[in-house]
Amino acid sequence: MEQQGVANRRLAVLVGCNYPNTRNELHGCVNDVLAMKETLLTRFGFKQEDMEVLTDEPESKLKPTGANIKAALRRMVEKAENGTGDVLFFHYSGHGTRIPSVKPAHPFKKTKLLELVNQLPKGTSFTMISDSCHSGGLIDKEKEQIGPFSSGDRAPAMETTTTTTTSRALPFKEVLDHLSSLTGILTSDIGTHLLELFGGDASLKFRLPTIDLMDLLEKMKSRERHVDSGILLSGCQADETSADVGGGGGKAYGAFSNAIQTVLKENGGALKNKELVMMAREVLEKLGFQQHPCLYCSDQNADATFLSQP
């Protein structure tokens, strides 16, 4: 809820990675985030100066490197203020991979955004759309509101012969082989490669404990925070891939991102988060895609309107 006399801010980080001129090139990811940018401006009250767009187009001033994405997210979180009802949005469109875990009970690690979400000031919301493979459950520990289908529940795929689709999955072995070629180190420990390549820019989970933990804790305590604000709309289940469509004469797009845009265009009023995901599922099913978007958030956020649209 907004404080009297204090307007809420709407902040966004939009990331689109097509990986041009590589063996894993995609075609629709930049189009996804540019379409979302226009939707945020015209429908949801976002302002140009409150959005950061990172793409790997040649003319892009801000490239979507890991360090740049983390810095952009950090800047967005730091702009949010206590009690103002600020709305934060992160759209990622690109490849996704699953990293094998050393724990037998958990065969794959998930990229955790919980640490970022927990840094939000009280009263703010954080919504993420991830149009990538294996994106289900990226905001760890958030409740599964719309979850995976069992194999028996899945509708049979329709034959689609008029469009070309590419999986947005990036095999872990391919990631590891590429990192090994860059570092010259033969190891399956991805953290070792990241430390060798990026040093201080590597994620904290891969770094030696050289940071001033007391200083970090003091900064985190400087604002009142809460831990139940993450909303994830994933393009597919954790065990599925997301489709990248086109790349020929027509305009390319991500299947899930396009489904979101379709639902928003066909429904002018405010939509609850769970309504938006279920409608996107219906769009994908009608078009013959075998991927099932999921929703992870609290019960309250499941019934909240997408991006707090009035």
Catalytic sites, residue numbers: 95, 133
- What Cα–Cα distance (Å) separates residue 286 from each residue in 32, 283, 305? 20, 5, 24
Of 169, 179, 277, nearest to 233 by C-alpha is 277
Cα 51 from Cα 9, distance rounded (Å): 11
b (16+ CB within 10 A) / e for 190-202: beebbbeeeeeeb
Cα 248 from Cα 91, distance rounded (Å): 24
Sheet holding 253-254, edge to edge: 165-167, 243-245, 253-254
> Residue 124 class from Cβ within 10 Å (0-12 exposed, 13-18 middle, 19+ buried)?
buried
Q: By three-state DSSP, how is residue 25 classified?
A: coil
**Residue 237 contacts by C-beta under 8 Å, 6 or more apart in sequence?**
136, 147, 148, 149, 291, 292, 294
The answer to whether 85 and 44 are in contact (CB under 8 A) is no
Tokens standing for 72? 């952009």
- What Cα–Cα distance (Å) separates residue 239 from each residue in 134, 153, 224, 269, 280? 6, 15, 36, 33, 18
